[in-house]
Structure 1
């Protein structure tokens, strides 16, 4: 278990859990948002993302915190474990709202120095708040399919923050 992807809907706690998994196991953690966004909220091209992710996944050890559809096939080929954050919608949406407001109010830089704004959060078609609503069921179904099918890497679904904590506490170091 040295190649791990933490997957879930926006706001589910992927980045936080992935960083903690990497720290606990001594495996490099890679923030996917930092790898796929340029300053000014300019996304890297699909091919550039695929090339970057392919190179990252070639390593023997990694923890990543997402799985964008344009390159998820690469992750599924290499991952030893998928940790799916299959939390109730209210948990992830509440976390997302809290994080978004905090980032705006405290002017915290995210994703290569980008900043969230009220306009981006509330009025933009690219709003993470809207994206969450539109992607929740699709991502939930995808995680459940992975867990149910032997064709995919081992998949652990965590259904609450407390369950995620217990799972993390139970990870064997080394």
Structure 2
């Protein structure tokens, strides 16, 4: 069910950050971890090997199950192939439901800067211009997954079967909320 800033449950210790590709989930998760003291798991670290080789789905499920079996965590995403492991354990969903233009410009800027600077992402992987323009491009993934992820956020917001959903439609809203977040 949707919640307002004032209704955020106190003592929440298992948080899923969810949003479209490029919305800033990892940054938001890290900021939540800093404010709350909760350990943060960046999903890409568990799902990509060096050379952008995907981790086998069965192994991903094992790794995510190990994280979510704990009492305190923040996850920066949840893939559909193991969402069933995360939702029953999460106590709050922080949903980044930003407009496409906003998340897309963030993603393109981040990807270009990564290709220019070769700064490592998950497990030492780096972005390249070839990847950015290729068929498996993260930018293309944004277009393929945007509607599905946004629909999921909106369904969750109306469902009593999932944890409370705190939906942000602007980064200013997220910043205002983060300024109020207290340690768990």
1:39 to 50, 54, 61: 50
Q: Distance in 2 between matches of 1:120 and 1:56?
A: 30
2:38 is equivalent to residue 27 of structure 1: yes
2:136 is equivalent to residue 126 of structure 1: yes
Q: TM-score w.r.t. structure 2 length?
A: 0.92
2:106 to 95, 102, 112: 95
Q: Distance in 2 between matches of 1:32 and 1:137?
A: 21
Q: Distance in 2 between matches of 1:125 and 1:62?
A: 34
Q: What runs of 5+ residues in structure 2 fail to find an aligned partner?
A: 1-11
Q: Distance in 2 between matches of 1:126 and 1:67?
A: 19
Q: CA RMSD in A?
A: 0.7
The aligned runs of 1:131-170 (5 Å cut-off) are 131-170=141-180
Q: What runs of 5+ residues in structure 1 fail to find an aligned partner?
A: none
**Which residue matches 1:7?**
18
> 1:173 offset after TM fit, Å?
2.3
**Post-superposition CA distance 1:88-140 (Å, at most 9, x none):** 00110000011001101111111101111111001x22111000011111100
Q: Distance in 1 between matches of 2:162 and 2:182?
A: 23
1:84 to 95, 105, 109: 95
Q: Distance in 2 between matches of 1:112 and 1:5?
A: 22
Instruction: Work out the number of aligned pairs and report it.
Output: 173
**Post-superposition CA distance 1:2-26 (Å, at most 9, x none):** 0001001111010000000011000
Q: Secondary structure at the match of 2:123?
A: coil
> 1:53 offset after TM fit, Å?
0.3
